Amino acid sequence: MLETVRCNLCGADDTIPVMEIDGFYIVRCRQCGLVYVNPRYRPEILQEIYTETYYDHDGINNGLEFFGYENYVADEENIRATFAKRLRTIERYVPRGRLLDIGCATGFFLDLARNGGWEVMGTEVSAFSAHYAREKLGLDVRMGTLSDLHFADQTFDAVTMWDVIEHVPDPLGELKEVGRILRDGGIISIITPDVDSWVARWLGNRWEEFRRVREHIYFFSRRTMTETLRKAGFEVLKIESADKVFYLGPALHRLKYYTWDGVLTRATTRFVYKLGLDRVRINVNPFTKMAVYARKQA
C-alpha cells in the first residue's frame, strides 16, 4: 500500500523529518529543500480517494480527516468569482486560444473561460466531477491523468493546474509533459499550498494543508516551485499569494480549524448569521497558497 520515493526535484535520497501526522512523515530534502511525504500511498490508492465523496464530504468537519471539499458545488458562485480574477491574469500574458484545465473538477473554470472566448478542454480523475462537467455544463472533459491522455505536441496556449500539483506523484514529470503540449510562449498557471507561508510556519502540524497528508504528497515553497518549473523548461513570470472569495458566514466558521475557536469568534459568527450577513461575499487572502504564472521557453 505504501511506497518510498527519492526527491522529485533533485533525485537525492537524503532527508530530514519535518513532522509526523497520523503515521505519515513529511520530510525535507537536505540537498534542494523540497518538502514531501515519504513513504506515501501508492498512486493507485490515491486514485481511489478521488471519488464522489471527495467533493461532498463531512470529514472536513471532524477536524482530523481533512480531505476533499465541503459542498464544492454549493460554493459555485464564489468559486467562479475567484476563477474570474485568475483568468484575467492569464489573459494579461497570452492571447485567448486553447486552454486545458488539469484536474478541472466540476468544470466551473472551464465554463467561465469558454464564456470568455477560450476553446476549452479539461482532465479529471474523479468520475463524479467529470460526469457533472459533461452533463451539466456540456464540457469536453477527458477522464484520466495527463500522461494517460497523450495530447499532441504544442496543442494548448494555456494550461491551468489549480490545487493539483501537490497531489501528483511525479510533479517534475507532469510539468515536462505540460511543456510538451503547450506551444512555445504558452502559459501555465499553478495554485498550490506555500510551505514557506507564515500561516504554514505558524500553524505547523495544525495547518490544514499538512493535515491532508494522505492526498497532499508535495509541499512546495516559492523557491522549490520556481526550480521545478525551471527544470521543466519554464520561466516564472509572477508568484503571488492566492486570494479567494468566500461567504462571510462559512469563512468565520472555518476559523475554528485554526486557533480561533474562542468565545469571541463564536459570538461574532452567531451575530453575523443573525443579521443575515452570512451570505455576504468577501475577498480574503489567507496567505496560505501561492498562485504561479510561468511561460514555456522555446
Footprint of Zn ion on this chain (CB under 5 A)?
A: 7, 9-10, 12, 29, 31-32, 34
CB of 234 to Zn ion, least distance (A): 18
CB within 8 Å of 233: residues ≥ 6 apart? 176, 179, 296, 297
CB of 46 to Zn ion, least distance (A): 21
* Residue with smaller CB distance to Zn ion, 224 or 288: 224
* Residue with smaller CB distance to Zn ion, 7 or 229: 7
Picking from 198, 45, 202, 181, the residue whose alpha carbon sits closest to that of residue 123 is 181
CB of 31 to Zn ion, least distance (A): 4
CB of 28 to Zn ion, least distance (A): 9
CB of 10 to Zn ion, least distance (A): 3
CB within 8 Å of 241: residues ≥ 6 apart? 194, 197, 285, 287, 288, 289, 290, 291
* Residue with smaller CB distance to Zn ion, 10 or 130: 10
Using the Cα atoms of residue 104, residue 106, residue 110 and residue 116 in order, give the sign of their dihedral: negative
What is the largest distance, in Å, between two alpha-carbon atoms of the chain? 57
* Residue with smaller CB distance to Zn ion, 31 or 154: 31
* Residue with smaller CB distance to Zn ion, 14 or 148: 14
- Provide the grid cell at 119: 476553446
CB of 9 to Zn ion, least distance (A): 5
Specify the DSSP class assigned to residue 165. G
CB within 8 Å of 133: residues ≥ 6 apart? 104, 105, 106, 107, 110, 122, 124, 139, 141
- Provide the grid cell at 7: 526527491
Helices (H), the chain: 43-49, 76-93, 108-115, 127-137, 146-149, 171-181, 198-203, 208-211, 222-231, 248-254, 263-274
* Residue with smaller CB distance to Zn ion, 33 or 116: 33
